[in-house]
Amino acid sequence: MSKMTVEVVTPERVIFSGEANLVIARGVQGELGIMPNHMPLVTPLKIAPVRIKTEGGKEVVMAVSGGFMEVRGDKVTILAETAETPEDIDVARAKSAKERAEKRLSEKHPDLDVRRAERALQRALTRLQISTK
């Protein structure tokens, strides 16, 4: 089976670098499945899990908070604002962040930055989703 090189990079560090058979990410237009020899593309990413299928059917899952994915030849590069593996996630902190964001959104203060609260909620939900993997 053919492979491609995949790198997931944040401003702080390289989260993943290796060979893969499939990358599944959520772009602004919807879910994307990238396999070796995919057509070139660059797309912004949403706050969502990214799944990387490696040799032997293993899967690497991480919570990605925005950024971009570039596909060129047999290389996929994800430049993420943040990316966390399940081991990196503090579940209690993510639950607390979820509750704070839901509370902010339900109170509807006139000076509330709704977009910021919605992004915080989505980040917390994504972290909680992959922490159970």
Q: What is the pLDDT of residue 133?
A: 61
- β-strand partners of 43: 69
* Domain limits, the chain: 4-84, 90-131
CATH superfamily, domain 4-84, is F0F1 ATP synthase delta/epsilon subunit, N-terminal (2.60.15.10)
CA-based nearest residue to 36, from 76, 70, 77 = 76
Strands 59-72 and 83-84, bridge-based pairing: antiparallel
pTM: 0.88
Q: Provide the mean pLDDT of the chain.
A: 92
pLDDT under 50: residue ranges of the chain: none
Encode pLDDT of 104-120 as tens digits.
888 877 777 888 889 99
